[in-house]
Amino acid sequence: MADGNIVMTHLVAGYPNLEESRLAALAMVAGGASYLEVQFPFSDPIADGPLIQGACTDALNEGFSTDKGFEFLASLTAETDVPVFLMTYGNLLMAPGVENFVERAAESGVAGLIIPDLPYDYDEGLYEAGKKAGIPVVPVVIPGIDEERLNAVLGMTPPFIYTAVRKGITGARTTIGEDTVAFLDKLSRSGAKVLAGFGIREKEQVDLLAPHVHGTVVGSALVEIIGRCAEEKRACSGEVKAFVESLI
Amino acid sequence: MAVYNDFFGPYGGRYVAELLRGPLDELEAAFKEAMDDDGFLKELNRFGKEYIGRPTPLLYAEKASKAVGGADIYIKLEGLANTGAHKINNAAGQALLAKRMGKSRIIAETGAGQHGVATAAVCARLGLECRVYMGSEDIKRQRPNVFLMEMFGAEVFPVESGSKTLKDAVNEALRDWASSSADTHYLIGSALGPSPYPDMVREFQSVIGKEVKAEQEKRKLQVRAMVACVGGGSNAIGFFEPFIHSGTPRLIGAEAGGTGPEEGCHAARMTGEGRTGVIQGYKSRFLFDGDGQVLHTHSISAGLDYPGIGPQLAHLGDTGRIEFTSVRDDEALEALRFFASNEGIIFALESAHAGAAGLKIAEQYKPGEAVIINMSGRGDKDIFITAKALQRDKWFDFLNEETKNG
């Protein structure tokens, strides 16, 4: 693990193309990312904002497929020791069958699965399949979650919990209030490693969250950099690495 | 209230990220409470009579029936409801519910625009702020409805993501709601989405079927079949609702067959390659590829090209209670022309799919037996599509003149 802040960086597999996204992932690792969150693009990513939806659409237009995604993950997990988490939406699991998808994820070496639209009570067998394949499923919670639901989630003793630090979609900047901090402390006391994200794009925010969580997730800010580089047709590794370094 | 489902067989549910869970729980509680409150039901009923113009007529289509030479064809004229389509029934129900919940802002998504128009109109009437999400492709196809929504004071927000049609407008509305639910109600326009929407929309639309049933009993009609078009399916489920639990009559849903059975050319989820999936918060039959990515769809009607179908309809299709058929663009246009020239009625393009299917079904029966077609809306809004398709040269001449004079 890093000496400074623990940061999970996010990227959309295949955006702007598979090779560029591989180089971006390695640049994140070089910059000091402690975890990678790789999103498999979906045509209708309702929990994401316009920026990530645009990246998903571009990646799909570029020919991304689930097969290519798993090949991408396998090569990435072979190239780096940094744990790689796979994030996507339920229908990508439903299409080939949840168990089948989870097995393939396990074979590609991922450290965990984040599927926001398959919550524990509508999970289509995801948690069971994860247990069987030996991959933790990372529940996603939010501040203000109903107490009973939070207890049900914590009762499953997940090794990791992913939490948004505000309501809404990805992308916009987040201000972190006292209530949020109290919620993060409560989650951390459960023993799960808490990963907190949504609108985190500056070191100041990461520093503020660091004492209260295991790690901070930075997504849209990086997708933005990668997109800008693609548009200007220039390599993005240097900028991505420098940005991640600046957070740690 | 009568029924609360969450799941319909294997379909339905609430497959949403945690941030939408709270607003849905709040809505479910408020909906159940309202449906148990005579005061709310009376208010809804009065709104229906005074503002919507209910009950809508059930027309005996005598000339059409004779031309077909089969069953007596009846048409439920939902197009005579205020704003021109059945969508107003649900918009009114949900807007009154939202007001009761203390919400001051309504967001909605729209494809063909009828739901947007109905929502905007009801918001104007009830003094609620309104934003309607609409794919930029649909805005191009349905300019007259955009104009009406703006007249009612709604903000029409163009959606540029994905295929720029209804499903993308749904995504945007869900995103808005995720951060605005404290003061905002998301008024979904069809009997789909996460629970409690499929139950709620069906209940508000069931007024259509209840009126049909009352007329059936009054006129002692031997109804053999009822036919409705199915995009998401709100007119169909409302029209069928009082008949679902009995074995008769036959219930038939007409999907968009588009230009043909090739991928991307239609929106046939039940008669085509639809498969079970989880998209936009609910489990149902959708059109998606082997990886789970939603496929592009096509229909001449902007209201029927949605890649999913309401979960209750999907289940009733599986169990055989509802039969599904698909109707191509050209067949719908032909039915539109047939009913215009034989009955003096212009069907909306969506409803013309039901009209086309109804004509075929009517051939299977004899006079004295009844087939009822739901005209879910009238075709005023489609004039830029239908006139181009049916009278291309004259229409273009007219538009050119208008542009010159403008």
Note the pLDDT tens digit of each residue in B110-152.
987 899 999 999 999 999 999 999 999 889 878 889 999 999 9
Mean pLDDT in residue range A226-243 = 93
B chain contacts of residue A167, beta-carbon cutoff 8 Å: 19, 178-179
Q: How many CB pairs under 8 A join A and B?
A: 108
CB proximity list for B60: less than 8 A, separation 6 or greater = B72, B73, B74
pTM of the model: 0.95
ipTM exceeding 0.90? Answer: yes
What DSSP character marks residue A181? H
Give, in order, the Cα–Cα distances in Å from B232 to each of B15, B60, B377.
18, 27, 15
Q: Is the pLDDT of residue A82 over 60?
A: yes
Which pLDDT score, from 0 to 100, does residue A169 have? 57
Give, in order, the Cα–Cα distances in Å from B344 to each of B155, B337, B358, B372, B378.
34, 10, 17, 17, 11
Cβ–Cβ gap B291/A54 under 8 Å: no
Is B167 part of the contact surface with chain A (CB cutoff 8 Å)?
yes
Which pLDDT score, from 0 to 100, does residue A167 have? 61
B chain contacts of residue A116, beta-carbon cutoff 8 Å: 17-18
**Count of beta carbons in the 10 Å neighbourhood of residue B112:** 29
Exposed / middle / buried, residue B90 (Cβ in 10 Å: 0-12, 13-18, 19+): buried
Q: Residue B275's beta-bridge partner residues? A: B286
Cβ–Cβ gap B21/A145 under 8 Å: yes
SS3 A38: strand
B chain contacts of residue A164, beta-carbon cutoff 8 Å: 18-19
Where in chain B are the domains? Answer: 8-51+86-197, 58-84+207-387
Which pLDDT score, from 0 to 100, does residue B3 have? 64
Measured CA to CA, the distance from residue B170 to residue B175 in angstroms comes to 9
Q: In what order do the strands lie in the sheet with B322-328?
A: B58-60, B72-77, B369-375, B222-229, B250-258, B322-328
| Residue A43, amino acid | S
Which pLDDT score, from 0 to 100, does residue B359 have? 98
Measured CA to CA, the distance from residue B280 to residue A91 in angstroms comes to 10
Q: How far apart are the first and last CA of chain A?
A: 12
Tell me which CATH homologous superfamily contains domain A7-246.
Answer: Aldolase class I (3.20.20.70)
Q: What is the pLDDT of residues A156-200, one digit of tens each?
A: 999 999 998 876 555 555 677 888 899 999 999 999 999 999 888
Q: Is the pLDDT of residue A122 over 90?
A: yes
Is residue B252 within 8 A of residue B226, CB to CB? The reply is yes
| Residue B80, amino acid | L
Q: Are domains B8-51+86-197 and B58-84+207-387 of this chain identical in fold?
A: yes
**Closest chain B residue to the Cα of A153, Cα to Cα:** B18
Average pLDDT of chain A to the nearest whole number? 93
Rounded to the nearest 10 degrees, how much is the dihedral formed by the CA atoms of A112, A114, A115, A121?
80
Percent of the residues in chain A that have a pLDDT greater than 90, as a whole number: 84
Mean pLDDT in residue range A4-29 = 96
Probe site for chain B from A12, A65, A122 (most B CB atoms < 10 A): A122
Which pLDDT score, from 0 to 100, does residue A168 have? 58
Which pLDDT score, from 0 to 100, does residue A170 have? 57
Residues of B marked active site are found at 87, 109, 376
Q: Tokens 């001051």 sit at which residue?
A: B104
A chain contacts of residue B292, beta-carbon cutoff 8 Å: 42, 66, 89, 91-96
For B:37-66, CB contacts with A below 8 A are none
Would you list the DSSP string of B196-245?
A: THHHHHHHHHHHHHHHHHHHHHHHT-EEEEEEEE-SS-HHHHHHHGGGTT
Which pLDDT score, from 0 to 100, does residue B137 have? 86
Q: Which CATH class is domain B8-51+86-197?
A: alpha beta
Please name which of A121, A141, A137, A248 lies closest in space to residue A186, comparing C-alpha atoms: A141
A chain contacts of residue B13, beta-carbon cutoff 8 Å: 122
**CATH code assigned to B58-84+207-387:** 3.40.50.1100
Which pLDDT score, from 0 to 100, does residue B1 have? 46
Cβ–Cβ gap A168/B178 under 8 Å: yes
Which pLDDT score, from 0 to 100, does residue A176 have? 76
- Half-sphere exposure (Cβ direction) of A148: Cα atoms closer than 13 Å: 4
Probe site for chain A from B7, B11, B14, B15 (most A CB atoms < 10 A): B15
Cβ–Cβ gap A66/B292 under 8 Å: yes
User: Which residue positions in chain B have pLDDT lower than 70?
Assistant: 1-3
Measured CA to CA, the distance from residue B184 to residue A79 in angstroms comes to 47
Where in chain A are the domains? Answer: 7-246
Cβ–Cβ gap A95/B175 under 8 Å: no
Which pLDDT score, from 0 to 100, does residue A172 have? 57
Q: Is the pLDDT of residue A145 over 80?
A: yes
Which pLDDT score, from 0 to 100, does residue A1 have? 46
Q: Which two structure tokens, joined as six digits, stand for A217?
A: 């997730």
Which pLDDT score, from 0 to 100, does residue B271 have? 93
